[in-house]
């Protein structure tokens, strides 16, 4: 159920920020809509580094390298997944608002 909340939150954030971007007549929203939601992976990676320095008691270089490698892989996967959710939501939103627009 937490993944559903995260997906809905990423979609909403991406749609709102794309809407603001379109209001300022900046139509280069494609990659930005991906990065708005995909930045959660960067947050996860930075928090994992903070957690490594404050809580974990790892002293071996191999353990630290393995931890950072796995967290980088997990963070990249999360970025791609949430970025895709945000991008698809933004595409659906933009298509919806432009199909509802009537030009006479």
Are 36 and 14 in contact by the 8 Å Cβ rule? The answer is yes
Kindly report the backbone phi and psi dihedral angles of residue 11, in degrees, each rounded to the nearest multiple of 5, phi listed first. Answer: -65, -45
User: pTM score, two decimals?
Assistant: 0.88
Over residues 40-89, the pLDDT tens digits come to 999 999 999 999 999 999 999 999 999 999 999 999 999 999 999 999 99
**H or E segment and range at residue 80:** helix 61-99
Average pLDDT over residues 86-104: 89
Q: How do residues 2-55 score in pLDDT, each as one tens digit?
A: 999 999 999 999 999 999 999 998 888 899 999 999 999 999 999 999 999 999
Separation of alpha carbons 56 and 36, rounded Å = 30
């Amino acid at each position: 159920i937490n993944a559903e909340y995260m997906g809905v939150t990423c979609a909403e954030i991406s749609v709102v920020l794309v809407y603001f971007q379109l209001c300022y007549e900046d139509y280069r929203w494609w990659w930005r809509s991906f990065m708005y939601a995909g930045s959660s992976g960067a947050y996860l990676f930075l928090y994992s580094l903070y957690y490594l320095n404050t809580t974990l008691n790892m002293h071996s270089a191999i353990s630290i390298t393995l931890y950072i490698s796995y967290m980088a892989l997990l963070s990249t996967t999360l970025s791609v997944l949430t970025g895709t959710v945000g991008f698809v939501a933004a595409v659906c939103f933009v298509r919806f608002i432009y199909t509802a627009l009537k030009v006479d």
